[in-house]
Amino acid sequence: MTQLRVALLSSCTIEVLERPLAAALRERGFEPSFWISGFGQYRQDALDPASGLYQHDPNVVLLYLDAEDLFRQLLQNPFANVGDARRAEGRRVADDIASLVVAIRSRLPKATVVVNTTALPPLNAVTGLEFNSEFGVQDAVAEYNAGLVAFAAARNDVIVLDAAGLAASVGFSRWRDSRMWYLARLRLSKPALEALASGYASTIAARLGKTKKCVAVDLDNTLWGGIVGEDGFDGIKLGEDGLGLAFAEFQEELLNLYRKGILLAICSKNNPDDALQVIRNHPGMRLREEHFAALRINWEDKASNLRALAEELNIGLDAFVFVDDNPVERSWVKQSAPEVVVPEWPTDPVDYKSALLQLSARYFPKLGITAEDRKRGEVYQAQAARRKLESSGATIEEFYHALEMRVRVGRADSFTIPRIAQLTQKTNQFNLTTRRYTEAEIRAASEDERTEVFWLDLNDRFGPSGLVGVLILKQDAPGEWNIDTFLLSCRVMGRTVENAFLAAAAREAGATCLVGEYAPTAKNSPVKDLYARLGFAHVRDVGERRVWRLANAAKLEIPPWFQVERDRNGATADPPLITR
């Protein structure tokens, strides 16, 4: 469990959110501690440097503001303001809240602030007049939401939770609890609290890299209707009408997960030839073989096949969500592979699409999409081709040369900072110190004169792997650099990329001496001997951390099977190796 300090401020009573939010956060791997502002005290606590907000020193600040509080006067007399004046009020309130967030961030520079869109009751005094006269209320809230979204988009330390969308999904009449408002100034119903808790927890998980990576799906009666081995290619339900359309639209949503960087895999008990004929040739298929990072189509038990998929993709079982229509198969996987998320699944295919959208919001939230996300499926397809080459019988050196690997190393900039932060949040196996950084922290480090933030991009004959490495160096003395962070994506482990990366970065930094440390975790044992292999000498232990030193960084060499590409300006990149 990752410790997480959460501050919760609101314009209405919000204490009752703590319990469902704590449960939702624990489900996603966090152990939260809370500080909660008093009723309607959010402004005072944000502006008072001695308030409990700042004493708690939260990692995340949740600022929940309700439209009925923010626009109370407008609702009390919606006939007092018309047109431009009303919209100007919406912009003014947005600017006011933005200035409050700036004040919070100035005193909590490492915290993430989550604000929310908001909605007014659809039934109010101007219902019917809203879009047919000069009187209304909804356009003021629309201006407020737009202003808040624009403010957050210009910063990397503020996130917007779409509470208005959650309210619409739940239904506004179920979102409100009028009795609790009059008794305790609590506007939110139990369904609203549960939806809000799940939304906040997923947003925090997305921010801090605690999301799932892969959807493994069954085939018969899951990806299509019927059993292909019995009903035949032409007999399954998949197409443009009836239940066939329900399965097709389910596939379309899986395809959208693929497009935003979520891996898709098949885990099915089936005859491979029958199944692959449908996947490759059926006109109703939205998904084709190239959309799946890995396939297990056989008669082995599904828990064993999920373990094989995890090994092939080099991700943990806890990165999987398994979708299967068969309750017996779901039960077996729950018992035999408890790390895998196995959701209950609808019995009616018409509900598959909405069930998947709920899973996506819960387990695959995204706050942005990097270039690497968009091509992740292609990258794993290329990885399969590399494995085939590796098993061809060549020596390891011949295999490395045959890959025709090309590396490019550069310093962090506005384009690469989101991906660098994403890697620090998600990478666990090849990660020497497992320090997690936000985009704001990476940006600050890149602007520090005594810190270097390097990235590595890798290509080979099978295609691009993308930006897969991060190295953060901090200068202790002239020529002596401390390795704060050294990580590589697990999909490029085992190709000596780390040798090329460290050698290139050390040369560019002008390092004569490097000091690194290994901080053991449950997942990074594959790199426990990395520094010894690179020629570092063990100098001391600090608790569980092992400290290593390389007195002569010039000994680091780029292996001969790597080609260093030219930089963007066309200058020879070796030396220097760095893309500026």
Percent of the chain with pLDDT over 90: 74
Q: What are the tens digits of pLDDT across the range 474-487? A: 999 899 999 999 99
Report for 135-139, 263-267, 385-389, 566-570: range of highest mean pLDDT: 263-267
What CATH number was assigned to the domain covering residues 385-579? Answer: 3.40.630.30
What pLDDT is recorded for position 223?
97
Q: What are the tens digits of pLDDT across the range 295-331? A: 999 999 999 999 999 998 888 999 999 999 999 999 9
| Range scoring the smallest mean pLDDT among 66-75, 134-143, 386-395, 449-458 | 386-395
Cα–Cα distance for residue pair 545/551, rounded to 1 Å:
19
At 361, list the tokens.
């919001």
pLDDT-derived band at 396, boundaries 50, 70, 90: confident
Identify the helix (H) or strand (E) that includes residue 356: helix 352-363
pLDDT-derived band at 504, boundaries 50, 70, 90: very high
Please, which residues have CB within 8 angstroms of residue 242's CB and are 6 or more apart in sequence? none
Q: Is 36 left (phi over 0), alpha (psi -120 to 50) or beta?
A: beta
Tell me how far CA of residue 418 lies from CA of 138, 171, 239, 358, 454, in angstroms: 35, 35, 39, 26, 13
CATH architecture of 2-207: 3-Layer(aba) Sandwich (3.40)
Say yes or no: do domains 2-207 and 214-363 share a fold: yes
What's the mean per-residue pLDDT of the chain?
91
pTM: 0.75
Do residues 406 and 458 touch, judged by C-beta distance below 8 A?
yes
Q: Is the pLDDT of residue 182 over 50?
A: yes
- DSSP alpha helices (H): ranges in 120-222? 138-153, 163-170, 172-175, 178-184, 190-207
Please, which residues have CB within 8 angstroms of residue 399's CB and are 6 or more apart in sequence? 389, 390, 392
Cα–Cα distance for residue pair 136/126, rounded to 1 Å:
6
pLDDT-derived band at 580, boundaries 50, 70, 90: very low
Q: Is the pLDDT of residue 389 over 90?
A: no
Average pLDDT over residues 405-413: 93
Q: What angle do CA 83, 89, 93 make, to 5 degrees?
A: 155
Cα–Cα distance for residue pair 178/188, rounded to 1 Å:
9
Cα–Cα distance for residue pair 569/580, rounded to 1 Å:
9
Average pLDDT over residues 531-542: 95
Average pLDDT over residues 488-509: 91
What pLDDT is recorded for position 570?
35
What pLDDT is recorded for position 469?
95
Number of helices followed by number of strands (H, E) in the chain: 24, 18
Q: What are the tens digits of pLDDT across the range 25-64? A: 999 999 999 999 998 899 999 999 999 999 999 999 999 9
Cα–Cα distance for residue pair 196/30, rounded to 1 Å:
17
pLDDT-derived band at 577, boundaries 50, 70, 90: very low
Cα–Cα distance for residue pair 268/261, rounded to 1 Å:
22
Sign of CA dihedral 275, 281, 287, 292: positive
Cα–Cα distance for residue pair 200/202, rounded to 1 Å:
6
Q: Higher-confidence residue: 131 or 265?
A: 265
Q: Tell me if residue 507 falls in helix, strand or coil.
A: helix
Average pLDDT over residues 271-279: 95
What pLDDT is recorded for position 566?
44
What pLDDT is recorded for position 377?
74
Cα within 13 Å of Cα(1), Cβ side: 13
Q: Report strand pairing: 320-323 vs 405-411.
A: unpaired
| Range scoring the smallest mean pLDDT among 146-160, 200-214, 555-569 | 555-569
Residue that is written with structure tokens 């290994």 in the block:
518
Average pLDDT over residues 138-166: 94
pLDDT-derived band at 112, boundaries 50, 70, 90: very high
pLDDT-derived band at 393, boundaries 50, 70, 90: low
pLDDT-derived band at 569, boundaries 50, 70, 90: very low
Q: Does domain 214-363 bear CATH number 1.10.10.10?
A: no
What pLDDT is recorded for position 136?
86
Sign of CA dihedral 201, 206, 211, 215: positive
What pLDDT is recorded for position 564?
76
pLDDT-derived band at 386, boundaries 50, 70, 90: confident
Q: Where are the domains of the chain?
A: 2-207, 214-363, 385-579
Q: Higher-confidence residue: 579 or 184?
A: 184
Q: Higher-confidence residue: 33 or 378?
A: 33
Average pLDDT over residues 542-556: 94
At 462, list the tokens.
């099978």
Average pLDDT over residues 531-539: 95
| Range scoring the smallest mean pLDDT among 79-83, 311-315, 555-559 | 79-83
Packed helices 352-363 and 242-259: angle between N→C axes, nearest 10 degrees = 20
Q: How many CB atoms lie within 10 A of CB 127?
A: 11
